[in-house]
Each structure stands twice: as C-alpha cells, then as structure tokens.
Chain A
Amino acid sequence: MDSAIANPQAEHDAAEHEHVYLPQHRHHFETEEQQREAGSFGMWLFLLTEIMFFGGMFFAYLLYRNWYYDAFVAASNTLNIGMGAANTAILITSGFFMALAVWAAEVRKKNVLVWMLVLTTVFGAAFLGVKYFEYKEKFELHHIPGAGFDVSQFINPPMDAKTGKPVGNPLPPDVAQHTQIFFFLYFAMTGMHALHMIIGIGLLFWLIARSQKGDFSAGYVAPIENFGLYWHFVDIVWLFLFPLLYLINRHPLAH
C-alpha cells in the first residue's frame, strides 16, 4: 500500500488509530473516564448479585435465630471471640493495603503497587490460617452438622474452672439438636466467605504477576480498582458475620 504513505489523510488516520490500543481507552469508548465508569458500573452490578447471594444466608440466620433462640445462643457462645476479633483486624489490614495498592496504581508507582498487593495477599492468607484453627476446633468438638454431631456439650455444659458453675444453661435434648442449624449456617456463611477469599487470593497472584510486568502502572488501573471493589466487598461481608455469629448472644434475653 504505497498510496498510504503518499496519502496524508491515511497517515493521519494511522496516527489517530495509535491511541486505541491503550487498554484504558479502547476504541468503543469516547473517553477514558467513560470506559472507567462503565467498568465500575459493571463491577458494582456484579457486587449487587453478591449482596443478594450472601443476603439469602443472612436472612436464613435472622429467621432461625428467632425460631431457635436458645440453641443459637448456646452454640454461638462456643465460638472463639478472640480469634474472630483478630481475624476482623487482619481482614481490615488486608483491605487497607488493597486500598493503598489502588492508590499506587493510580500514581503509577510499580514497586509500591507490587508490595501492597503482596501485603494484601499475606493478610488474606493469615485470615484463612486463623479460620483453619477455628474450623479444626469445631471438628475436635464434633460441632460439624451431620451424623457425627455431638450435642452433649449443650445438654451438660462443662463446668467453668474459675466460677465452679456451668459455662451455659443446659438445654433439653430436642432443643440442643437445633444447635446443628446454627453450625450449619456458621459453616455455610464463613465457608462461602472463605471461598471468596481463596478466589481473591488466586486473583491476587495473577494481579501481582501482571503488576510486576508494569501492566497497571502506566495509566491502566481498572483491574486493580475493580479487584479492590471485590476485596472490600468480601471485607464487608465479614464485618457483619463477626458480630452476628460471634458477638450478639453474650447477653441472651430471659424469657
């Protein structure tokens, strides 16, 4: 096509075309802002479906807690508040580094971005590590719903060494069986949350590898920003799981 070289109009078109290969400004978007907003909009729509998904489980918890209040109180109070609180702090720390990663990508600091993503991953993995020890304790106490579930702790609460009194009110055997529903919801909700974290950590490895190549420190921030939205969403789910599962049954209502 020697005419293209000779033709100033074609040369102009080629120069105009150069910019469409910017990943932050594809040719079907008018401006970078428009592309960015379209991406954020899509990500938020996905997160709304996630709200509905987790919302169903939160609703089930709300309803069953009202139906089987005594069983839920007894089961909830066997959870380890110290580990739950530590995990909340760990997850908030992870989210903090994620927020800094988005900042680093926006100001195009490649090394800072990589390190912030690494720290996000480390704290995310620490959260799962604590969760492992919590689940392990549930296995040891036979608090896994199913044929192997053991209600004896709720029928005959163990004595507290310091006070010499039982750690909780003894439950009738039929009521004690309902603690299985609490643990079913506990594992469903924290398990689904943990699955989201595992997926997130998988994505973080991919983002770290691409960040290392400089993919996200030259103006193309969308993958980091949208992953940040996902990571913060998973954070928010835990911000509700912690009080609802661990904390709100410390002072049960007498009835």
Chain B
Amino acid sequence: MTEHEQHFHDPTNVTNPEHAEHHIVSPLQYVFVYISLLIGTALTVVAANIDMGVLNPIVALGIASTKMVIVILFFMHVKYQSNLIKMTVGAGFFTFLVLITMTLSDYMSRAWGLW
C-alpha cells in the first residue's frame, strides 16, 4: 500500500481519528442500567406522595432527567460515541432549552406593566 493510499484509507483510524472505536456494552452493564431505571421509577412515585410544596415538580423532573441521562449514555451508547455524536446530542438538548426559556420569558413578560 502506498503512502497516498494509506492516508485516504484509514482502517486503523489513526490518521484521522474522528470515529470512536466500536464499543460493545455488556449485558451485565445493561442489567445495572435496567435496575437503576426501575429504582428511579419507584422513587418518583414515592416522592410524588410526599408533600414537598413547590419542590414536588422539581424533584419529579430531576428524577426523570436523571433517568433520561442514564438511558442516553448507556442504552443509546452516547458515552462510547465520537465527539461528533456527543456534540450533536448536547446541541439538540441545548437548543430545546433555549426555545423553552425564550418562549416562557415571552409569555411571562408580555403582561408586565399592563396592570
């Protein structure tokens, strides 16, 4: 193989190491993820029955977000993906949060000064 070819075919992923190595998550790891998700579900039901005032929705969303992150990192393999995929996922959620924040601030501030 010539030097030229070696540059373009990069089967060893060394010249342009942009692709993550193919990582296989073991079934045992999936079992741990599964159990932690079930515990999260039980926790959120228990938490809903405790009167925490304004904290109730916050705790519920906190538990749901934690479960989401666990699913994304392990079931969806993002922990073992390349930086491109990680950035893509992060950018998506960031954009979503920006949309929520800006729309909410619009709704909350529209009536300001009108009463």
Contact = CB atoms under 8 A, between A and B. Distances in A.
Contact of A34 (B19, B37, B61): B19
A92 B20 contact: no
A121 B73 CA distance: 23
Nearest to A56: B99
B85 A37 contact: yes
Given A81-B45, A89-B38, A44 B60 contact: no
Interface string B19-42: 111101111001101100110010
Interface in B58-85: 60-61, 63-64, 67-68, 71-72, 74-77, 81-82, 84-85
Nearest to B26: A103
B85 A103 contact: no
Nearest to A105: B24
Contact of B88 (A48, A232, A236): A48
Contact of A41 (B41, B67, B76, B85): B85
A154 B41 CA distance: 29
A78 B48 CA distance: 15
Interface size class of B (residues with CB under 8 A): 35 or more
Contacts of A81: 45, 48
A45 B91 CA distance: 10
A37 B77 CA distance: 12
B104 A55 contact: no
Most B C-beta atoms less than 10 A away, residue of A37, A52, A106: A37
Contact of A31 (B13, B74, B100): B13
Interface of A: 30-31, 33-34, 36-37, 40-41, 44-45, 47-48, 51-52, 55, 59, 62-63, 81, 85, 88-89, 92-93, 95-96, 98-100, 102-103, 106-107, 225, 228-229, 232-233, 235-236, 239-240, 242-244, 246-248, 250-251, 253
Interface of B: 8-11, 13, 18-22, 24-27, 30-31, 33-34, 37-38, 41, 44-45, 48-54, 56-57, 60-61, 63-64, 67-68, 71-72, 74-77, 81-82, 84-85, 88-89, 91-93, 95-96, 99-100, 103-104, 107
